[in-house]
Amino acid sequence: GGGGTATRRQMRALLRRVVVASCPAAAASSAVRHAAVPLRRPAAPFGLARVSAARLSRREHGMSTIAALGTSAPLTGDAATAYDALTTRLRKLADLDAVEATLQWDELVMMPDGAAEARGRQKAALAELKHGEATSAEMGAAIAFAETSGAGEGCAWRAANIRDARRDYDDAVRVPASLKAREAELGARGYAAWHKSREANDFESFAPVLKELVALRKEFAAACADEGVKTYDYLLDQFERGMTTQRLSEIFGELRRSLAPVIKNVLEAPPIEQHPIFAPGAFPDAFPEEAQERFCRAVATRMGFCFDTGRFDTSVHPFTGGSGPFDVRITTRYDESNFMDAAMGVIHEVGHALYEQGLNKDQDGLPVARALSMGIHESQSLFWERYVGQSLEFWEANLPAFHENFPVAAEQGVTALDVYRFVNKATAGFIRVDADELTYSMHVVLRFELERALFENELDVDDLPRAWNEKMTELLGVTPETDAKGVLQDVHWSDGSFGYFPSYTLGAMYAAQFFRTAREELGESKFDDAIKSGDFSRVRNWLRDKIHAVGSVYPSADELCLAVTGSRLDPSVYVAFLEKKYKTLYGLE
C-alpha cells in the first residue's frame, strides 16, 4: 500500500490484509490507502476470447492456463522500441515499490520504536518520488507510444501490461492534489478517533469522523470514476476489479439464502466432541513456543515455501510481505494457550506466499506479474488453510510431526481426527476475525449490506450501531452487547477502506471452485491420497500453472475463474462444500 494511486500499490496492501484487519497501529503507521482507482472496463487482451471459448476442452485435457494464452509473437521496429521504453519505466516504478515494501516489512518486524519519525520522513520522500514517476509526462508518452505502435498485438502478456499501465497512469493523474492531502489528514485522524472510540465503547465519538470518511469516498468517486459509475461500484472495483454492486448483491444474496439454513442446523446440533488437550488452560505446557515454531517451519517447508527467496519471522500480527517473487516474507505469532493460532496462520500466510513466489519471473516488475485481485489472492491462502489445512488428510500427514514436536499430545493420544474436529468446530460469535469457516461469510455479508446502504443513501452513519445489531441477530442469532464487539470492531472504515470486506468471502468462494476443479483434474482419490501422504507438490504445481504464473493477464477474477474452472464465480459450489462437510461432521446426514 503506499499512496493508493496505483493498482500495484493496492496489491501490496493486499499482502498486509491481516495487518489491516487486526493491527490498527500497523495499519495507521503504514498509511494504507485504497481510494484513488477509477473504474474502467478494459477490453480483454489478445487471445482471451479464444481461451474462454475453449475452456471445456482445455479442462478435459488438463491444458495449462499459460499454454492456453498462446506464445508471444516477436516484436520489431517501432513496436519493439515502444514496448522496451515502456517496460523500462514500469520496472523502475516497480523497483521503487519494492523499496517501499522492504521499508514496510522492516517497520513491522525489525525497526526500533525510536525510528518511527525518521521512517515517516523516508516514506514520505519515497511516496513523492513514486508519484512523480507514476504521473510523469514521459510515462504517459511511453504508454501512448506502446498503444499506437501495436506492441500489444499477438501477445496476451504484452497486451495486459499495456492495458494495466494505462489504467494505473489514468488512476494516478485523475486524483486531485487536494483530495490526496485530505485523505492523508483524515486517515490519521480517523484511526485515532476509531481507536479511542473502541476503547471507550463510544460510537458517537467516532461518528463525525466516519461521516467525513464516507463523504470523502463519494468525492473520490465523483472525481475519479468513469462517467455514470456508481460510488459503491467504484469502491468495490478498487479491490476486486470488475466487480459491481449488482453482481455482488446477487452472489451474496444467494449465499445468504442457501447458507443460512445450514448454519442454523449446525449451530443447533449438539457440539462435536473435543479432546481435552485443546481446552484452554488444561495442559499449559503442551505447546511451547519453540516447538510451535519448529512445527510451523516444517509445515511451511512441506507446503513448498522456498526459503531461498523467502523469510519466516515473528511479528505482533501475522502478514505476508516482500517485494516480488524473489523476495517473499511471512510472519506469524505464537500463543502457548492456542496452538492453532500459529499453525493455521502459517498455512494461510504460506498460501499467500506461494502465490507470490509462483508469479511469472520473466515478467517481474511488470503489471502482469502481480496479483489479479484481492479476492484471488485471498483464494490462494484459503485454498491451503481451509480446503487443505482443515482437512482430515492434512492432519493424518502431519500427525507424526505433531507428536514429535508436542510430546504431551502424543502422551494424551491425540489423533488426526481429534485435531480435525478441533479446527472445524462451529460457533456463533460477535467477532469476525475469530469466526469459524462456516459462519465467517455472514460477517462479511453484514458489512457489505451496511456499506451498500451507506453509499446508496439508504442508511445514515448515526444508525449504523442499530442496523449492525439487527443484522447480527438476523444472520447469526447473536446480538453484540457493546459497540466494541459490534460496529467498532474493525479498523477498515477508519481509513476509508470501504469495499474491502467482500474480498474475504469472494476468496473463499473462488477457492471452493479451484479446489473442486483441482480434484477433478488430478483425480479425486489421487488428490486426497497425495495430501494424506504429505506430498503437496501436485496440488502446488496445479495452482502455480493455472493461477500463480498467470498473474493479472486476465481482466478480472471472474475471467480467470472461467478459464480455470469452466464457469464464473458460482456461490453454490462453496455452499455445497460447506453443507456436505458440516453435515457429516455434526452427524446431520
Catalytic residues: 349
Q: What do you get for the CA distance between the two ends of the chain, in Å?
A: 46
Contact 15, 381 (CB under 8 A): no
Instruction: Round to whole Å and give the CA distance between 198 and 201.
Output: 5
Beta-bridge partners for 331: 313
CA 86 to chain centroid? 29
State the pairing for strand pair 327-332/310-314. parallel
Instruction: Round to whole Å and give the CA distance between 374 and 242.
Output: 12
Q: Could you please report the per-residue DSSP string of 383-452?
A: IIIIIITTSHHHHHHHHHHHHHH-HHHHHTT--HHHHHHHHT-----S-GGG--TTTHHHHHHHHHHHHH
Contact 390, 437 (CB under 8 A): yes
C-alpha grid cell, residue 421: 474436529
Strands (E) in 449-587, as ranges, are none
Instruction: Round to whole Å and give the CA distance between 462 and 211.
Output: 9
Instruction: Round to whole Å and give the CA distance between 394 and 396.
Output: 5
Q: Using the 8-state DSSP alphabet, how is residue 332 labeled? A: E
C-alpha grid cell, residue 271: 457440539
Instruction: Round to whole Å and give the CA distance between 138 and 323.
Output: 25
Instruction: Round to whole Å and give the CA distance between 372 and 119.
Output: 30
In this structure, the number of other CB atoms found within 10 A of the CB of residue 268 comes to 10
Residue with cell 468471502: 505
Q: Using the 8-state DSSP alphabet, how is residue 313 labeled? A: E
Instruction: Round to whole Å and give the CA distance between 319 and 349.
Output: 7
Instruction: Round to whole Å and give the CA distance between 464 and 4.
Output: 27
Three-point CA angle 55, 242, 151, nearest 5°: 70
C-alpha grid cell, residue 268: 443447533
Instruction: Round to whole Å and give the CA distance between 352 and 88.
Output: 28
Instruction: Round to whole Å and give the CA distance between 103 and 94.
Output: 14
On the 0-12 / 13-18 / 19+ scale of CB atoms within 10 A, 536 is buried
Residues sharing a CB contact under 8 Å with residue 353, sequence separation 6 or more, in sequence order: 305, 310, 320, 328, 330
